[in-house]
Structure 1
């Protein structure tokens, strides 16, 4: 199911900043060349991510799940001077395309791509403290990633988790494993006293978490 009425979504799209030209091309390329192109953040969610990043002006961002690079570019728009975004993609077949997509933007020098399993790469950031983390990878491991990075986020920093409404299934009657995993994630975060949190009904649901 659609979370928002399509007419409302079109209105929202038409009343935010326009999609940058480089991102328009990445959007088109994704739909032409990649399986499951709907995984792309897209125009409206991309502007939300860009705005959240600009509001806190992070020096260090971690993204778990790069896909075709759209969200990484949006988040990198808000980096403070000299800031870096580290993004992790498990699928090595995306590397050439990602490098091309990043090179087409004005933030490519601010993005460092890591190819490999997220858990192993996160372990390499042993003494790193991030200002913002975006989790948009394999959904069954969302809470594991949250646990791995919560101590690597500064007080006042943000963690954003995508797809937490799961096309409305989380508040329906579905009992499949993916839906149950996301329900469990939402419930675990809801009672976590280390953080402030709310779900933003943007696209498929963004869980916005602020570390106390």
Structure 2
């Protein structure tokens, strides 16, 4: 079964638009210079984020959790003319890597990087967002959600990554705080009448939410 999964993944990638050279390099550098390179969105998820962004054509994007900048570059590809992407990272050691690749991309003037807690930074931005991507500390997902929702336009979208958390969401009584944070978030948004939602069984789970009137 494992081999079949690998073969299917290879087939999927072979039938998906190729990864551009800058992102290939960024993937390689992330694996060389970071402790947890699996946090990178990677080729397939990157293309999905790019496609969603191109469908929404956002004027303002917010990302919580920059890491090395791969997902931000993918999301920026769908920005409307004159659009801006704000990306927030709490780990200042990641900032130089991300900034280098932002500066080398054709979206260098469209991506604004912020360092610190998203819970503090988001209200200070004074922006209204068409698209939000949450991929930060899993323990704070509900707090991120409640912080950003007032700044999301009616009809705007929120994406939350890792909402299956390696299948740990099926644990009846999760002990670790990261798993509990994801489980609580999934239950919380599923009961929130302010949005409609679908949990996509893609990669490690992607929650797609749309803000209602």
TM score, norm. by length of structure 2: 0.94
> How many equivalent pairs are there?
209
Structure 1 residue runs without a partner (length 5+): none
Contact 2:139 2:180 in 1 (8 A): no
State the distance in 2 between where 1:167 and 1:20 align: 28
Q: Which position in structure 1 is the counterpart of 2:75?
A: 75
* Larger CA deviation: 80-89 vs 94-103: 94-103
Displacement of 1:104: 2.0
Q: Which position in structure 1 is the counterpart of 2:51?
A: 51
Displacement of 1:87: 0.3
State the distance in 1 between where 2:12 and 2:211 align: 29
State the distance in 1 between where 2:56 and 2:194 align: 19
CA root-mean-square deviation: 1.5
Displacement of 1:180: 2.0
Displacement of 1:140: 0.2
Q: Which position in structure 1 is the counterpart of 2:209?
A: 209
Q: Which has the higher contact order (CA 8 A, sep 6+)?
A: 1
Q: Deviations over 1:108-161 (max 9, x none)?
A: 1110001111111112024x2100000000000011000001110011111000
What are the residue-to-residue correspondences of 1:127-206 with 2, within 5 Å? 128-173=127-172, 175-177=174-176, 178-206=178-206
* Larger CA deviation: 36-45 vs 109-118: 109-118
Displacement of 1:174: 6.1
Contact 2:122 2:147 in 1 (8 A): yes
Partner of 1:92: helix, strand, or coil?
A: coil
TM score, norm. by length of structure 1: 0.94
State the distance in 2 between where 1:84 and 1:42 align: 22
Structure 2 residue runs without a partner (length 5+): none
Q: Find runs of 4+ consecutive structure 1 residues off by over 6 angstroms.
A: none
* Larger CA deviation: 153-162 vs 11-20: 11-20
